A and B are shown apart, each in its own frame.
Chain A
Amino acid sequence: MKKNRKKLRGSISGRLTARVLIVSAIIFTLTFTVFLRMAANKVREEATHKAHSELSNAIHQIDAVLESVEVAIENTAWIVPHRLDSPDFMYDITERLLKNNEFIYGSSIAFEPGYFGSEGHFFAPYSYRDENGEIKSKQLGSETYDYHYMDWYQIPKLLDRPYWSEPYYDDGGGDMIMTTYSKPLYDSDGKMYAMITADLSLEWLTDLVGKIKAFDTSYNLMVSRNSSYIVNPNRDLILNETIFSSTYGDNEESLKKLQDDMVNCRAGEVLRKNNGARYFVFYSPVETTCWSVAIVCPVSELYKGVKKMRDTLIVLGVLSLILMIAMSHKGIRKVVAPIEEFSDVAKKIANGDFAVELPKIRSNDELKELHDSFEHLQHSLVQYIEELKSTTANKERIESELRIAHSIQMGMIPKIFPPFPERDDVALAAKLVPAKEVGGDLYDFFIENEKLYFIIGDVSGKGIPASLVMAVTCRLFRSVASHFDKPEDIISSLNESLADGNDSNMFCTAFLGILDLKTGQLQYCNAGHNAPLIIDNEGKVSPIKVIPNLPLGLFSGFPYQGQETVIDKQMMIYMFTDGVNEAENRNMEQFGDERLISLLRSNSSLEPNEILEKTFAEVKLHANGADQSDDITIMCIKYC
């Protein structure tokens, strides 16, 4: 199981499935969140609309009732100034008001202190309905009930306009909540002399507001301008608590908004928390009195549809994700299975089984391309291996032949040193190190009639072509040299032979000399080769003066010019090919003539073979591991 999990995590299918899961989960979550948010907003909008619609209906009814009271007072008030001659008639007026308006509970015409001198300080005829509904009348004012300081009297008097009192419990009516509409009455001088009032029981209002059923579990409130509850499901709170009592000291934003809106008679809605539960409070003012009617709805009630939808969506989402994971994992597994097979095939091919059967791909997609690539790889590998086998065989054959050619070439040049051990008038050392198996450098010498014939040369190019020209040149020198006395003749003869049929324009530089071992006279001819160096017995090193002429094999009939000089005893003739002075190190820096001359100068006392070894050692040191790019040949002759 653990292994499987690891495999799942480590596999492409596992990673792809995980990625699909994560991306899908994010998309699902985002989509659900946005959807639910939009749904919640829509629900809230509709709830707000519904709540305010219900509130508006109720408020219209309330306003209609309140306005009817105002009209009743208006229709009655005009009688008062006409009957001021009879204080007792005021009772008739209030009684008639009650008789004509069943919804009015009580009415008074309360006069300013001592208005009727005969009636005393307090005179406020008052009619009301007793518990049996009969209309009774009494004089309201007394020392213990100084109505002049009651809100219903004092406030409209100070404001100079009619006024609806804030609701209050009626002392006589038990639990009955009342409000009083008061209208000041003015005499001809504009001085207020009385207040005519109508008391309205608010029981109907409690019923009306209580009956609003905007939502299943919502309840309704009504508060007066001083924020006291007029309607509340908990009757104990009515006129005892305000909507801000229990939250006194809180500084919450929603409370401030509620406070601000209600004080300024504005409609609105806020979200409130109470005992851990959240509620929407939709409120709207009664225009006539600025009391606020509110519908309180638990958020859970409002969003219960959305919550149900959310729960369903979560279940559906989770199920969808599980199904998606299962299906996508299976699908991905199916897609990547051939890759695992290709992996096995690749291992077998790596182990040399080029003919392994490839997985069968029927689709025409990337896997088909992979299959074709593998097939092409198989064919290419088989072909390549075949070619490699053939090439390797050829190479081995050529290398074998080259090894033979090398032996043959080396066999063509003298390689036994000292060559003339029996003689004490000449010491000679020579060495040829080809850059490849076979090279184009050459040297040769022989003594005949007490004359040392010698040649050093360098064929253009390298490898087999150059080695063939070298072989020809060496053979010609051996066969031709002894037939001529002068080096230029030998050179000319060599030139003619090499130039003849030289379609490939191969050529060979050469320095050919004949040293008379008796006299020290040296005859020589240079054919485009480096001028040899003379090392005298005092250690002085100087090049032999040479006429360059042309290398051998280029132009038939070229008139080569010979030269001659005399070599003193103990002097050495140092000849070399350009593989010495032009030997390069890794920085492409050449060994150089100066360094060669300096080397020879400092080793002038050495014997030819020692000088030769010294030179090779120094060139190797200079090359410092760089590949030898040209054949290196040195021949050094000391006349003794």
Chain B
Amino acid sequence: MNNMKKYLTLLCFILVPFFQGAAQKITFTPQWTPQSQFAGYYAALENGYYDEAGLDVSIVHPTTSYSSMNMLLDGTSDIITSELIQAMTATKQGVRLVNILQTTQHSTLVLISHIKDINKMADLAGRRVGTWKVGFSEIPHIIDEKEGLGIEWIKFITPLNLYISGAIDATIGKSYNEEILFSMSGITPGSILRFSEIGFDYPEDGLYVSEEFYKKHPEQCRKFAEASRKGWEWVRNNREEALGIVMKYVKEENVPTNIYNQKWMLNTILEVQEDVKGNAPSYKLNIEDFNRLNELLIQYGYISKPVEYKGFIGE
């Protein structure tokens, strides 16, 4: 028995360093199917930045009807990307999120309409307007609710055919995706309303983990964020190669898209990562932007009390 104890103790000594050095398994889920919007993470994985950080990362995409937030909530994913407003209001879905990296700094939300001369949300009062089934459209919704515009929101997975068929009058979209996609599909919209130009310019994409996960694995979170940032910086300087990586992921998932679409998307994404003056990305969530969004959410009654910046941002 003593011998047995000795052997077991010896085995522990041998195995503990091995386990300590073993890579941490992390499942990462971006907020949509493969596209240039997530080029930095693909690049970090392909270039081995996560490996170098001692992380064993696997990227699992959501489906078009089952979001990354759902996957975080059901425990499939450890780290997700999300838009700031969704992350700040995630408590509604029963989880507190922690921002570990802020990538984009501006709103890319657009409202593409068959109707001409749409200059504000109120111009679409009583109309049928498409909106993602999985979110991304909180601001138009809270404006509608607050201003009582009576918009008939039509949830969609992808809005293109819905829009072309004439089943909706307008649709929410992203400047880096739907706006380009619609144009490439031969559509000439009646008008395009940009939320960034009507007083709703807020940061969007960022990396998030649950508060629980963050408390358990702060170092891994920091490493993941740092490697992701490195991935984005590489993409900024190697756009053509980055596009090749994106297209590889696109093909693996059989996403119907093309390199032209992804190229324009990547350019737009990299642009909104810069600040208004075109300075290099900070990858940080500015407290002023955070507070502005807090004020908006309270003003429009979307949340009752402000979200704490300190707990929301990883240290």
Q: Which residues of A contact B (CB under 8 A)?
A: 143-146, 149-151, 154-155, 158-159, 163, 165-166, 168-169, 225-228, 237, 239-246, 248, 258-259, 262-263
Tell me if B156 counts as interface (CB < 8 A to partner A): yes
Contact between chains at A149 and B155 (CB < 8 Å):
yes
Given contacts A144-B65, A149-B155, A240-B257, contact A227 B161 (CB under 8 A): no
Check B254 against A259 for contact (C-beta < 8 Å): no
Q: Nearest B residue to A290 by beta-carbon distance?
A: B164
Smallest distance from the beta carbon of B271 to chain A beta carbons, Å? Answer: 15
Q: Tell me which of A143, A159, A259 contacts B167 (CB under 8 A).
A: A159
Q: Residue B184 at the A interface, CB < 8 A?
A: yes
CB-CB < 8 A to B184: which residues of A? 227, 242, 244-245, 248
Residues in B138-191 with C-beta less than 8 Å from chain A: 154-158, 160-162, 164-168, 180, 183-188
Chain B 255-296, CB-CB to A under 8 Å as 1, else 0, gives: 011101100100000000000000000000000000000000
Instruction: Assess whether B165 is in contact with A239, with CB atoms less than 8 Å apart.
Output: no
* Contacting pair A245 B168 (CB below 8 A): no
Verify B185–A244 contact, CB threshold 8 A. yes
B187 touching A263, Cβ below 8 Å:
yes
Q: CB < 8 Å: which of B154, B254, B258 contacts A241? A: B258
How far, in angstroms, from A226 to B162 measured CA to CA in the complex?
A: 10
| With A158-B128, A169-B254: A242-B161 Cβ-Cβ less than 8 Å | no
Complex interface: chain B residues within 8 A of A263 (CB): 186-188
Say how far B64's CB is from chain A's closest CB, in angstroms. 8
Q: Which residues of A contact B158 (CB under 8 A)?
A: 151
B228 → chain A, closest Cβ, in Å? 27
- Asked if B7 is at the interface of the complex by the 8 Å CB criterion, the answer is no
Cβ-defined partner of B260 (8 Å) among A159, A168, A241: A241
Contacts of A246 in B (CB 8 A): 260
Query: Is residue B133 within 8 Å, beta carbon to beta carbon, of the partner chain?
Result: yes
- Report whether B161 and A228 are in contact in the complex, using a CB–CB cutoff of 8 Å: no
Q: Once bound together, how far apart are the Cα atoms of A263 and B264, in whole Å?
A: 23
The residue of chain B having its C-beta at the shortest distance from the C-beta of A158 within the complex is B167
Within 205-232 of B, Cβ neighbours of A (below 8 Å) are at none
Task: Tell me the smallest distance from the CB of A231 to a CB of chain B, in Å.
Answer: 15
User: Do the beta carbons of B65 and A226 come within 8 Å of each other?
Assistant: no
Shortest Cβ distance from A112 into chain B, in angstroms? Answer: 14
Query: Is A146 a contact of B65 with CB atoms below 8 Å?
Result: yes
> Are the C-beta atoms of B260 and A226 separated by less than 8 Å?
no
Enumerate 22 A-B pairs (CB-CB under 8 Å) in ascending A order.
A143-B65, A143-B66, A144-B65, A146-B133, A149-B133, A151-B158, A151-B161, A155-B161, A158-B162, A166-B164, A169-B254, A226-B160, A226-B187, A227-B185, A240-B256, A241-B258, A242-B186, A242-B258, A244-B186, A248-B183, A248-B184, A258-B186
Answer whether A237 and B154 are a contact pair too, CB < 8 Å, given A146-B65, A149-B133, A227-B184: no
Give CA–CA (A155, B185) in the complex, Å.
18
Whole-angstrom CA separation of A630 from B63 in the bound complex: 135
Given contacts A159-B167, A166-B161, A248-B260, contact A227 B186 (CB under 8 A): yes
Q: When A154-B156, A228-B185 are in contact, do A245 and B161 touch as well, CB less than 8 Å?
A: no
* Cβ of B69 to closest chain A Cβ, rounded Å: 14
Task: Pick from B128, B157, B167, B185 the residue with the most CB of A within 10 Å.
Answer: B185
B183 proximity list for chain A (CB < 8 A): 244, 248
Residue of A149, A163, A166, A259 with highest tally of chain B CB at under 10 A = A149
B185: chain A residues within 8 A (beta carbon): 226-228, 242, 244
Contact A237 B63, CB 8 Å, known A159-B165, A225-B161: no
Distance in angstroms from A356 CB to nearest chain B CB is 89
**Is B65 within 8 A of A145, CB to CB?**
yes
Q: A154-B156, A245-B258 are in contact. Are A259 and B165 (CB under 8 A)?
A: no
Minimum CB distance partner of B152 in chain A: A158
State how many angstroms separate the Cβ of A491 from the closest Cβ of chain B: 128
Chain B residue contacts of A262, Cβ below 8 A: 186
For residue A226, give the distance in angstroms from its CB to the closest CB of chain B: 4
- Cβ of A72 to closest chain B Cβ, rounded Å: 22
Contacting residues, chain B, for A240 (C-beta < 8 A): 256-258
Known: A226-B160, A237-B258. 15 other contacts (CB 8 A): A143-B65, A149-B157, A154-B154, A154-B167, A155-B167, A163-B165, A226-B186, A227-B186, A228-B185, A239-B256, A241-B260, A243-B186, A244-B184, A248-B264, A263-B187
In chain B, residues 56-97, which have Cβ atoms closer than 8 Å to a Cβ of chain A?
Answer: 63, 65-66
Which of A158, A225, A248, A259 contacts B168 (CB under 8 A)? A158
- Report the Cα distance A263→B187, complex, angstroms: 8
A227 to B163, CA, bound (A): 13
Return the 6 tightest CB-CB contacts between A and B, nearest first. A158-B167, A241-B258, A227-B186, A226-B185, A245-B260, A259-B186
**What is the bound-complex CA distance between A144 and B166, given in angstroms?**
27
A169 to B258, CA, bound (A): 15
Bound-state Cα–Cα, A599 to B183, Å: 116
- A158 and B154 alpha carbons, distance in the complex (Å): 9
Which of B157, B166, B256 is in CB contact (< 8 Å) with A169?
Answer: B256
With the chains together, A263 CA to B189 CA distance in Å? 12
Q: How far is the CA of A240 from the CA of B34 in the complex (A)?
A: 13
User: CB-nearest residue of chain A relative to B256?
Assistant: A239
Find chain A residues with CB under 8 A from B133 CB.
Answer: 146, 149
Q: Given A154-B162, A159-B167, A245-B184, A144 and B66 touching (CB < 8 A)?
A: yes
The reply to whether B180 and A248 contact each other, CB–CB distance below 8 Å, is yes
For A225, A242, A244, A245, the residue with the greatest tally of chain B CB atoms inside 10 Å of its CB is: A245
Which chain A residues border B128 with CB–CB below 8 Å?
158
- Chain A residues lying within 8 Å of B260, measured Cβ to Cβ, are 241, 245-246, 248
Q: Nearest Cβ in chain B — how far from A239, in angstroms?
A: 5
State A241–B257 Cα separation when bound (angstroms): 6
How far, in Å, is A362 (CB) from chain B's closest CB?
Answer: 80
CB distance from A518 to the nearest CB of B (A): 142
Alpha-carbon separation in the docked complex, A154 to B168 (Å): 11
How many Å lie between the Cα of A233 and that of B162 in the bound state? Answer: 28
Chain A residues contacting B256 (CB-CB under 8 Å) are 168-169, 228, 239-240
Chain B: CB-nearest residue to A166? B161
Given contacts A242-B185, A262-B186, A263-B186, contact A226 B161 (CB under 8 A): yes
**Residues on A with beta carbons closer than 8 Å to the beta carbon of B261:** 245, 248
Q: A150 to B165, Cβ gap below 8 A? A: no
Whole-angstrom distance between the alpha carbons of A240 and B133 in the complex?
Answer: 23
Report the bound CA distance from A239 to B185 in whole Å: 11
Task: Give Cα distance in the complex from A226 to B186, angstroms.
Answer: 7
Which of chain A's residues has its CB closest to B166's CB?
A159
Which of A144, A166, A259 is in CB contact (< 8 Å) with B63?
Answer: A144
Query: In this complex, what residue of B is CB-closest to A150?
Result: B157
Q: How far is the CA of A154 from the CA of B256 in the complex (A)?
A: 20
Nearest-neighbour CB distance to chain B for A32, whole angstroms, equals 40
CA distance A248 to B166 in the complex (A): 23
Complex CA–CA separation, A127 to B260 (angstroms): 37
**Which residues does chain B contribute within 8 Å of A168, judged by CB atoms?**
256
Cα of A24 to Cα of B165 in the assembled complex, Å: 61
Q: Which residues of B contact A146 (CB under 8 A)?
A: 65, 133
Residues of A within 8 A of B66 (CB): 143-144
Q: Which residues of B contact A154 (CB under 8 A)?
A: 154, 156, 162, 167
A241 to chain B, nearest CB (A): 4
Complex: A243 Cα to B185 Cα, angstroms = 8
Closest to B157 in A: A149
- Identity of the chain A residue whose Cβ is nearest the Cβ of B187 in the assembled complex: A263
Among candidates B165, B258, B264, residue contacting A155 with C-beta atoms closer than 8 Å: B165
Complex Cα distance, B49 from A349, in Å, reads: 110
How distant is the Cα of A154 from the Cα of B153 in the complex, in angstroms?
Answer: 13
Bound complex: CA A506 to CA B128 (Å) = 134
Contacts of B161 in A (CB 8 A): 151, 155, 165-166, 225-226
Enumerate chain B residues within 8 angstroms of A158, measured Cβ to Cβ.
Answer: 128, 154, 162, 165, 167-168
Chain A residue numbers with a CB within 8 Å of B257 are 240
CB distance from B248 to the nearest CB of A (A): 14
Q: Which one of A143, A155, A258 contacts B162 once the chains associate, using CB atoms below 8 Å?
A: A155
Q: B164 touching A149 by the CB < 8 A rule?
A: no
